[in-house]
Copies of this chain bind each other. A is one copy, B any other.
């Protein structure tokens, strides 16, 4: 990959945008940060960059063109419902009817629509894992601990339930134990769901002994892998441990992992397994 146009990284929050920037740089590809105001961290200020408002689609396009970008990656966490609530600029107004139409559907519609909007403007939207495959979840057990047969049975049930909910654009993550699903991820996101599980345990609503239950994250069938990959990182491990869970399972090759080393270190320290499932949900 000897593309010399800068890779435009439209950066949300978290550790993924800097990880991607490091990976691209290591490959000799220049990087240009399109940093979303109020959302992105400051690490990408170490690279050529511009701060842009998230609702200001026109400003993002203009900055990307000026920097000579042709390929864009949208990465990092966004609290989705915020996406279009800031005052839109002229560029956004131009596309607003599309956005409103898209917004009426679920996540997938919105996100696929955003990819289409960038492409209509002459950019190519790439998946982070196409630029940096090292960010993908590998197959197999990552740390010291492995799931049991009972855990594998729970994982299979959760994967099937995630697939069943796929057409409804919800439930990319679930918490399950003893073959009973106790939480389904909605608008609260993965971290929110794990916090919610912690509260259910603390309040006695969920009377599992500690070290019962696990979280499964998987892409919905047909999910746009350029935009909405399931992701885990050290914070996922911390929150899963705080929720009293015993492990984290994601399909190998179908989820991003930020800071793999730290994920493994914390999982081992906190007594959780982390597994990349070989037979992923397609």
Contact = CB atoms under 8 A, between A and B. Distances in A.
Contact of A184 (B82, B106, B171): B171
Contact of A207 (B81, B161, B171): B81
A95 interface: no
A147 B209 CA distance: 43
A79 interface: yes
Interface stretch (A6-14, A48-56, A116-124, A173-181): A173-181
A187 interface: yes
A204 B38 CA distance: 14
A181 B81 contact: no
Given A157-B168, A160-B168, A171-B184, A179 B105 contact: yes
Q: How many protomers of this protein does the assembly include?
A: 2
A103 B178 contact: yes
B104 A179 contact: yes
A182 interface: yes
Which of A85, A167, A170, A185 has the largest number of chain B CB atoms within 10 A?
A170
A268 interface: no
A207 B86 CA distance: 12
A186 interface: yes
A208 interface: yes
A181 B192 contact: no
Contacts of A196: 188, 196
A205 B81 contact: yes
B171 A200 contact: no
A180 B165 CA distance: 12
Contacts of A90: none
Given A178-B104, A180-B105, A206 B81 contact: yes
A224 interface: no
Interface of A: 79, 81-82, 85, 103-107, 157, 160-161, 164-165, 167-171, 175, 178-189, 192, 196, 200, 204-208
5 contacts: A81-B206, A107-B180, A168-B181, A184-B184, A188-B205
